[in-house]
Chains A and B, each alone.
Chain A
Amino acid sequence: MHAEAAAWDVAAPFFETAAAGKLMLQRCDACSAIVYYPRLRCPACLSANLSWVDVSGEGTLYAYTTLKGIDDALVGIIELAEGVRVTGRVLPGDKGKVAVGDPVRWIAAAAASEDSCQVLTFAPVGGSQR
């Protein structure tokens, strides 16, 4: 998907930098809002001036459920330290479980594969104790 950046694809830098091991999101030049998912205009003020900035990749698990029968994979909503929420894949903690509120961190490796479509994969920081 991110092998060739198409001129129409406003999200290309997100996929390209993630594949290279760096998580970047847009920030609005006009109102400083961090924006996810990538857009042509800021959803806070509709400015078209958005710049790509590094983000920490750290966040907390806001909500999650298990895709039963699909490898019991975890789909989660992660609130990033920068304040935006994203949908992502969540890897289980040390004891195979996670809980809402767990600190999580973005795993660059999951985005590195050229075919990866699960760019936003997170793991509990230090392994969940649950």
Chain B
Amino acid sequence: MARFTVEQWADLAALALADACIDNRQVDGLVCAPDVFEAAQLVPAMLAEYCGWNLAFAERVDLGGASAVGMVWRAAMAIEAGICRTVVCALPARPRPPAPDGVLDLGTALNFSDEAWGSVTVRYERPYGNIGPNVGFALVASRYDALVPGGEEARAKLVADQRRSAAANPDAVHFQRPVTASDVLASKVVVPPLHLLEIVMPCSGGAAVVVSKTEDVRPDRRTVVVSGFGESASFKTPTYSRDFLEMPLRAAARRAFAMAGLTPDQMDMAQLYDAYSIAVVLSLENAGFCGRGQGNGFVLEHDLSFKGSFPCNTNGGQLGVGQAVNAGGMTHIIEAVRQIQGSAGSRQLTRHDKAFVSGSGGSMATQAALILEGA
């Protein structure tokens, strides 16, 4: 049923708090994103009022698909700093009740924000068709393919690996629907060089996590610790990035690994933001799992499914699960937590102590990294 996003927030918070066995009265922090559409301002206060919370930490994060990672590390940082103790982070993405004729719908208005008066996109991007993530990622992929051979084959294989994991995930849009690399290559080219099956399927949904002090976690579950994080943003449109092969994730991941005192080869899994196949290839390189220009080779040399030598997007990733707008970014975090806690069911990894998680907003513009470890 259609619900206002403030109502969805309450639903998601209730689910996550129940899963964490934490009483609603303990909540003293929240982090939201710009996907609450019943107000443009004072949104955390509105959510606190609706859910009955007395907040010491009221935060809003605006990183697109990287919001989930950005929310969790801000929550962890606020707790570490002693500001608060129990923080809910939620991303609603279910259908909303349609506004009657003549009534302003804020969500619809914000979806056209690239056309706002004064927006640089209006004059320097839109007239040429540089609109939306499809074109942005295709531009990035065209550059990558011109510099590194074998991209089409590697990306098709990557999608097939992830769809194999999705086939084992009952929550995935593509549950029990594996595809082969040939299927990917045979699918329609939507934005050259990207095929239909290299692009996420939009879906509705929502996701939430609770970040709390370690003393407050339920004793029957393994504690998952945020041991490192990083973030990087310096452009919105890839045209104005410094180098297509040097994505913001490089700096974000470097900061995260340094903070955790760990290296990429110590990770048991990588949950990489995958709105498009090319994003995974570039994330493998920029996070340091392989060198610059080695992403295609790395994909071809490893089985990326949950059964494989390099478990990557073990729930199928967004390419397998579907993308519920910003909540899509949270699915990577939730999968990492489930794997570390040993509750990933039939796709459970045998080594599951350390996870690298990435987030990406826009066309690989705002990127963030998280390192999660089982205590």
Residues of B106-127 contacting chain A, CB below 8 A: 120, 123-125, 127
Interface set of B (CB-CB < 8 Å, partner A): 120, 123-125, 127-130, 135, 138-140, 142-143, 145-146, 189-193, 237-240, 244
Chain B CB within 10 Å, residue with most, of A1, A85, A118? A85
A/B interface sample: 7 pairs, CB < 8 A: A68-B191, A75-B129, A89-B128, A99-B146, A100-B146, A118-B127, A119-B127
CB neighbours (8 Å) of B190 from chain A are 68
A25-33, A45-53, A59-67 - interface stretch: A59-67
Contact of B139 among A37, A64, A89 (CB under 8 A): A64
CB neighbours (8 Å) of A75 from chain B are 128-130, 135, 139
Flag if A37 contacts B123 (CB, 8 Å): yes
CB neighbours (8 Å) of B127 from chain A are 89, 117-119
Flag if A120 contacts B128 (CB, 8 Å): yes
CB neighbours (8 Å) of A77 from chain B are 139, 143, 238-239
CB neighbours (8 Å) of A1 from chain B are 123
Of chain B, the residue at the smallest CB distance from A8 is B118
Interface set of A (CB-CB < 8 Å, partner B): 1, 11, 37, 62-68, 70, 73, 75-77, 85-89, 99-101, 117-120
CB neighbours (8 Å) of A86 from chain B are 124, 239
Of chain A, the residue at the smallest CB distance from B140 is A63
CA distance A116 to B123 in the complex (A): 11
Shortest Cβ distance from residue B36 to the other chain A in the assembled complex, whole angstroms = 31
CB neighbours (8 Å) of A99 from chain B are 146
Q: A37-B120, A77-B238, A86-B239 are in contact. Are A62 and B143 (CB under 8 A)?
A: yes
Shortest Cβ distance from residue A19 to the other chain B in the assembled complex, whole angstroms = 14
CB neighbours (8 Å) of A67 from chain B are 129, 135
Shortest Cβ distance from residue B15 to the other chain A in the assembled complex, whole angstroms = 40
